[in-house]
Amino acid sequence: MKAPVLKADSKGIARASRIILQGGIVAFPTETFYGLGADAGDVGALQKVFQIKGREEHKPLLLLLADRTWVPGLVKKIPAVAGCLMENFWPGPLTLIFEASPHLPILLTGGTGKVGLRISSHPVAQALVQKVGRAITGTSANLSGQPSASLVAEVFQALGRQVDVILDGGKTAGGLGSTVLDVAGKRPKIIRQGAVPQAQLAPFLGKRANFFLTNLFP
């Protein structure tokens, strides 16, 4: 059975939020591509995300928040540089990696002891997280290693039989995914170049920044 496609209005968002709170998986639009939303505290739902994507469990899942006040409950500490970056780049396509709270499921962190967080600037993504009332996953709605989806038809073709519902927010902007920046150590590290260019981040990072590229958060 294929997933229903819902209009991303208040009714559709309310239904999608209930599905997430019941352990389901929702595909929804972000400012770059479509993402997969699951309750960050539901281990069974997190396992479904890995299964749907065919994703290796040592790769962590980034989380979307509705507000910066949610950060302290998810991390061990908030470095000063992180506070400045949140002030200037959230909401937006910048994922910040913190030392994770020990209370978070290991599936979220991939055993790294770290967690990636951001606030989406897309109105549907933001409304969905607010309606759920807790952090949700924001990993891309695609099979691991395959191109990210900017159209509902692409999500439907790749994952339509596996997700519980798709919120249709129209075509997303595409382009680059979120920039991923590790602020957990003494030296901030750009882990993935993305929609927020290095030149915009440089004034906030200073000479201590380290630019180390990998692919932990596809």
User: What's the total number of domains in the chain?
Assistant: 1
Q: Which of 175, 129, 118 is nearest to 150 (CA)?
A: 175
**Is 216 domain-assigned?**
no
Per the listing, tokens 């819902």 go with: 6
Q: Report strand pairing: 165-168 vs 5-7.
A: parallel
Is the CB of residue 39 less than 8 Å from the CB of residue 132? yes
pLDDT of 23-57, one tens digit each? 999 999 999 999 999 999 999 999 999 999 999 98
The enclosing domain of 181 has a CATH number of 3.90.870.10
**Is 57 domain-assigned?**
yes
Judging by beta carbons within 10 Å of its beta carbon (0-12, 13-18, 19+), is residue 86 exposed, middle or buried? buried
Q: Containing H/E element for 117?
A: strand 114-118
pLDDT of 84-102, one tens digit each? 999 999 999 999 999 999 9
The whole-number pLDDT of residue 210 equals 52
**Is 194 domain-assigned?**
yes
Give just the sign of the alpha carbon dihedral 216, 102, 163, 151: negative
The whole-number pLDDT of residue 207 equals 57
Q: What's the rounded Cα separation, in Å, for the pair 138 and 127? A: 14
**Is 218 domain-assigned?**
no
Q: Containing H/E element for 168?
A: strand 165-168
**Is 180 domain-assigned?**
yes
**Is 60 domain-assigned?**
yes
Give just the sign of the alpha carbon dihedral 175, 24, 43, 66: positive
Q: Provide the residue range defining the domain that includes 34.
A: 5-211
pTM value is 0.92
**Is 217 domain-assigned?**
no
Is the CB of residue 178 less than 8 Å from the CB of residue 196? yes
**Is 141 domain-assigned?**
yes
Per-residue pLDDT tens digits of the chain, which is 218 residues long = 778 999 999 999 999 999 999 999 999 999 999 999 999 999 999 999 999 999 998 999 999 999 999 999 999 999 999 999 999 999 999 999 999 999 999 999 999 999 999 999 999 999 999 999 999 999 999 999 999 999 999 999 999 989 999 999 999 999 998 999 999 988 899 999 999 998 899 888 875 555 444 444 54
Question: Residue 213: how many CB atoms within 10 A of its CB?
Answer: 10
